[in-house]
A and B are shown apart, each in its own frame.
Chain A
């Protein structure tokens, strides 16, 4: 089943590359429909995985294992648990939306765009399903190629700079992860993730420290944590809307997922040792980037900085090592994926009409596009963490977990929530309220059915998680509990 999930988008990409011919409008249309169909199909298959998922066990499920590199003990092995299940679902859920939102905004080289997106999807699914560290790395790094092309070909004016920066940051981070994985291989003779989780915690702290730092280099760039977050604003601003949605919605989650899958269970001693460092960096991220966000003139850049702040909550939650914190981090990741993805879509909607992202060029949009104003309002509040939205559940649990571990961290992070409200609501006021001062704003037209189609499911999902998160918690409960136990191995209380 998981192999099928990885292969389906790849197959779609092959069909687009090999069988859709020509450059005309006709071929572009075919490519769009193939991509939409493939991503929807992938989504339904992943839903089937959720239905078939047994939430009562922490073991990996849907396991597939085949020999791959004989003699080196690298195998092709896939499987998911409660943690990866929801990130997988988030991926397959956001992909059709991305295809829909690029329906009209991408007009040149449509075939290549759709093919890149599908390849990207299959790589990301691979990251969340891989149960072998080398395979994980293969997908983790392989996704750089399509993303580099997406930013570089269909991006904004500074796209080349942003594409380089994205590529080199991510590449530099992840190669150190590879060295760490090879070191683990020589210590234990395997790269299988479940085996390493059992074996690696026996390493002494002195070794764990180095391995932790090597892995941190890779995951911190992806999350991104302060001070290696600088690629994110550039990449977000320059990427096309769909690219930003994927970056914010999914690629950032790979960093958090890496911490949950590798750092915590494999290197518990070092994780506890470095937790204060992570807390420090996260608090700086939450407060500093919130302040930076206040000053932004560009809508996308503002949301990009808000992403860094929100991901700061995720890393705080992960390193509290308790159930509330980890549950909170998971919900915050999913919620941020949905909400910031939706915010980028909101920016995309007005950008398609006015071709500028400068906040000052808007104002009074509510008079022209009331439906849009409602949607944008909803996601602004979800981003701020209004109760009954998913953002609230995530932030509340993270703060609760942090309060148990370190009161100061909880206190400082809470101030970040206040700042978050400030910059988001101010952004909303400047764009949506007030008088219409620019004539071209007056000529904008209300959202069409296609645009409504991709917002409605996100709205429903955000409300669902906000009001009734129990199905989510019950599916990941066992895995999170096990993770808490694993991250305490060998740690003196």
Chain B
């Protein structure tokens, strides 16, 4: 049993180990040198993320089980790690201004982001229900604290508390589901579960199904899918904007990747049981995301509902329950982190005399006061609406493609209809910026780092259609590895 613990198998864990050690070293640097965030600290954080990415690249050698089958690295987890590290890096870049303002935020903020990223990396590698739960909690606990990071603001504290209470409830359900699955199946290991269910669909007990549903519910909380989305608008609105940007990128990738692995690997043979649940959640998310956002005037709430709608689209890929579906979901995720990070970057530009502004009406006439910023925000909005040739269109194209391929044509039709409805509020923002009379200009002192984050996101969103192959091919390889 203990025989396969040897050095090479730990090599596959190098990225996680490196990230853990490096973050702890950065913590020491923070304690001894700079208790407040300064530029070197942000840059060091970025460097750590970049080196971790390099380690992920270096350590990927086909599918490998590590630590007695508790963790796994394969093409799927590798791509998910790239994406979530990208999300973290973009968030770090665009939080730079916020982190350094008023002499710098407490340095723990950067640590929490990195520790949360570590948890997420373990999440996407989880190959056992226990590691799944531990990794999820590791990342979530950091996120709870981050949500409440502006502790002098009531809204931020409220967001943190709300997120914590509801998140804990979701974790409870998840854990209960896991215990049911364990109780009825007798194992928590993914491959063992998979073997157990394959070829025996008629004898799967009710307990496993109930457990599975509870686990799915737990994940629906994490990816903010309807009907478990209630926390999203409040937490998105209350948390400091860079933290919201973080919520909208890396944790989304991790939760979706983990959900995909869970449904496709151990419970792959039970697709007939969970598919309808995912279809329902997907449809509900798309509809709520499209309708509820129309009346929003706070841009962060608007983006929160928009993220619910996008979650619905990604779940549509998952609902197809095949390789094309997983590939589509990964492409959508890859595109979405750039659109989302870019959009939040633009929200961070909305400042007057150092105060952040969140009312969308204040965007009026931005095309005349800040032509470049208005242009990129318009690009993100059209992209989220799914207008070609921007990147968001291709995300939608692939999930709809997968749904049609899985004979879910009506699901695809609901998807395109909701995307038209949501088009309304995306173009409303463009209308405000381009058609209305200008309001006073925003502050023009944003740093190079923030601008770089927005520029990277905009470039990817705008030019994805020229060289789509890298992401598409990687996603294909990942999906193949997952369904092997």
If A70-B469, A176-B416 touch, whether A163 touches B431 (CB-CB below 8 Å) is yes
Task: Give the number of chain A interface residues (Cβ < 8 Å).
Answer: 35
Q: Is the CB of B440 closer than 8 A to any CB of chain A?
A: no
Is there contact, CB below 8 Å, between B476 and A71? Answer: yes
Tell me the B407-448 residues at the A interface (CB within 8 Å): 409, 412-413, 416-417, 419-420, 423-424, 427, 430-431, 434-435
CA distance A71 to B477 in the complex (A): 11
Measured between C-beta atoms, what is the minimum distance from B245 to chain A in Å?
Answer: 25
If A69-B469, A70-B472, A172-B420 touch, whether A179 touches B427 (CB-CB below 8 Å) is no
Is there contact, CB below 8 Å, between B472 and A159? Answer: no
If A142-B388, A172-B420, A176-B413 touch, whether A70 touches B473 (CB-CB below 8 Å) is yes
Q: Choose among B385, B393, B431 the residue that contacts A164 (Cβ–Cβ < 8 A).
A: B431
Closest to B368 in A: A109
Q: Is the CB of B227 closer than 8 A to any CB of chain A?
A: no
**Interface SS of chain A:** helix
Measured between C-beta atoms, what is the minimum distance from A34 to chain B in Å?
Answer: 18
Q: Is the CB of B455 closer than 8 A to any CB of chain A?
A: no
Measured between C-beta atoms, what is the minimum distance from B404 to chain A in Å?
Answer: 4
If A152-B431, A163-B435, A186-B405 touch, whether A178 touches B387 (CB-CB below 8 Å) is no
CA distance A54 to B197 in the complex (A): 63
Measured between C-beta atoms, what is the minimum distance from B242 to chain A in Å?
Answer: 29
Is there contact, CB below 8 Å, between A179 and B413? Answer: yes
If A167-B423, A168-B423, A168-B424 touch, whether A72 touches B416 (CB-CB below 8 Å) is no
Is there contact, CB below 8 Å, between B430 and A182? Answer: no
Is there contact, CB below 8 Å, between A182 and B388? Answer: no
Is there contact, CB below 8 Å, between B431 and A178? Answer: no
Is there contact, CB below 8 Å, between B431 and A141? Answer: no
Q: Choose among B387, B401, B417, B430 the residue that contacts A141 (Cβ–Cβ < 8 A).
A: B387
CA distance A183 to B412 in the complex (A): 10
Tell me the A69-111 residues at the B interface (CB within 8 Å): 69-72, 109
CA distance A72 to B367 in the complex (A): 38
Is there contact, CB below 8 Å, between B420 and A171? Answer: yes
Measured between C-beta atoms, what is the minimum distance from A283 to chain B in Å?
Answer: 29
CA distance A175 to B393 in the complex (A): 11
Interface string of A175-197 (1 = CB under 8 A from B): 11011001101100000000000
Please indicate the chain A residues that have their CB under 8 angstroms from the CB of B416 in the complex: 175-176, 178-179
CA distance A163 to B387 in the complex (A): 16
Please indicate the chain B residues that have their CB under 8 angstroms from the CB of A70 in the complex: 469, 472-473
Measured between C-beta atoms, what is the minimum distance from A241 to chain B in Å?
Answer: 18
Please indicate the chain A residues that have their CB under 8 angstroms from the CB of B367 in the complex: 112
Q: Is the CB of B168 closer than 8 A to any CB of chain A?
A: no
Please indicate the chain B residues that have their CB under 8 angstroms from the CB of A149 in the complex: 430, 434
Q: Is the CB of B190 closer than 8 A to any CB of chain A?
A: no
Q: Is the CB of B272 closer than 8 A to any CB of chain A?
A: no
Q: Is the CB of A137 closer than 8 A to any CB of chain B?
A: yes
Is there contact, CB below 8 Å, between B424 and A164? Answer: yes
Interface string of A53-73 (1 = CB under 8 A from B): 000000000000000111110
CA distance A182 to B399 in the complex (A): 11
Is there contact, CB below 8 Å, between B417 and A175? Answer: yes
Please indicate the chain B residues that have their CB under 8 angstroms from the CB of A142 in the complex: 387-389
Is there contact, CB below 8 Å, between B400 and A178? Answer: yes
5 inter-chain pairs at a CB distance below 8 angstroms, sorted by A residue, are: A71-B476, A72-B401, A138-B388, A160-B435, A179-B409
Interface residues of B (CB under 8 A from A): 367-368, 382, 385, 387-389, 393, 397, 400-401, 404-405, 409, 412-413, 416-417, 419-420, 423-424, 427, 430-431, 434-435, 465, 468-469, 472-473, 476
Further 8 A-B residue pairs, CB within 8 A, beyond A172-B420, A175-B417: A70-B472, A71-B476, A138-B388, A164-B427, A168-B424, A172-B417, A176-B413, A182-B412
* Among all A-B residue pairs, the 6 with the closest Cβ atoms: A175-B416, A138-B388, A182-B404, A152-B435, A172-B420, A142-B388
